[in-house]
Structure formats: C-alpha cells, structure tokens
C-alpha cells in the first residue's frame, strides 16, 4: 500500500481476530471479547461466523452486537443484528459496506443473544482484515 499523502510505503499483513462464545442460557446476553494487538491499527474488512459444531449448516438464530473499544465503545449498529444478516455460516466472509479502522490496543466486544435451539453451543465470530504497520507515523 502506498500512503499518497505522505509518499511512503506502508507494510501490511492479513490478520484475523476471533471471539469464541459458549452460549449456555437462551434469551440471555452472552459476551465475548478479543483484544487487539498494540503493534498496529487493524483495518476491518469482513466478518464471518462459525457455529463450531460438526455438520452444522443452518447457523443460528442469535442476534449479534459488536462494539469497538469495550462494552461502552462504538457500536457497529444501533440495534443488535440477526446472525444470518451479518455473519451466517457462509464459506466466504461477509464484506463490510466500508472498511473500519480500529485503533491498536482496542477491543472487539461481542454480545450474542440466542433465542431458540439446543444449548450449550459455542459460536465464533471472526474479524478479517489487515494490520497496517507504519500507519500515521
């Protein structure tokens, strides 16, 4: 990548952060977090979900809320979003409408609420993007 405003090259590497959440109780908010590395900002490009169950292709009926920077951080939507609309169990990631630059040392705070189904079940949310080394320096 070339930083045209400063005229220097930036190094980047593909990276994935994952939050695994064991949902034990239905109709209850269950929280999981992923702490971002402090070495570089993360350019969040896509997300993908996994039910962590063998032979499961149906996904889940959970709702998802992601906040950047902890429990009181910036939310990715005004209300929780249905799992199938933003993550699902697709073989390819769901691209964000616009890339989201997440500061180094920040946190992905994920809240899941599962409405029906069998419990317990482990759900994973993957945040796919690029670590941007030398950004802003």
The answer to whether 111 and 30 have CB atoms below 8 angstroms apart is yes
Evaluate if residue 22 carries a pLDDT over 70.
Answer: yes
pLDDT band at 118 (very low <50, low <70, confident <90, very high): low
C-alpha separations of 28 from 24, 60, 115 in Å: 9, 15, 8
pLDDT tens string 25-77:
888 889 999 999 999 999 999 999 887 665 554 456 788 999 998 888 899 88
Pick the more confident residue, 119 or 96: 96
Contacts of 93 (CB under 8 A, 6+ apart): 45, 46, 47, 48, 126, 128
pTM of full prediction above 0.75 = yes
The neighbouring-strand residues paired with 117 are none
* Residue 90 Ramachandran class (φ > 0 left, ψ -120 to 50 alpha, else beta): beta
Under CATH, which architecture does the 12-133 domain have?
Sandwich (2.60)
Segment 97-101 shows an average pLDDT of 90
Q: What percentage of the chain carries pLDDT values higher than 70?
A: 80
Q: How far is CA 17 from CA 2, 78, 80, in A?
A: 24, 23, 20
- Least Cα distance to 43 among 82, 21, 17 occurs for 17
The C-alpha atoms of residue 124 and residue 27 are separated, in whole angstroms, by 18
Q: pLDDT category, 137, cuts 50, 70, 90?
A: very low
The CA distance from 96 to 48, in Å, is 11
> Does pLDDT of 89 surpass 90?
no
């Amino acid at each position: 990548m070339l930083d045209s405003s400063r005229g220097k090259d930036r190094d980047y590497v593909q990276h994935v952060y994952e939050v695994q959440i064991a949902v034990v109780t239905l109709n209850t908010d269950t929280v999981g977090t992923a702490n971002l590395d402090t070495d570089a900002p993360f350019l969040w490009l896509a997300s993908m979900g996994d039910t962590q169950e063998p032979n499961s292709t149906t996904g889940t009926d959970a709702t998802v809320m992601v906040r950047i920077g902890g429990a009181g951080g910036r939310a990715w939507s005004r209300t929780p979003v249905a799992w199938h609309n933003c993550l699902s169990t697709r073989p390819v990631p769901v691209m964000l409408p616009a890339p989201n630059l997440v500061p180094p040392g920040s946190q992905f705070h994920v809240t899941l609420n599962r409405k029906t189904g069998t419990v317990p079940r482990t759900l994973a949310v993957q945040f796919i993007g690029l670590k941007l080394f030398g950004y802003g320096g």
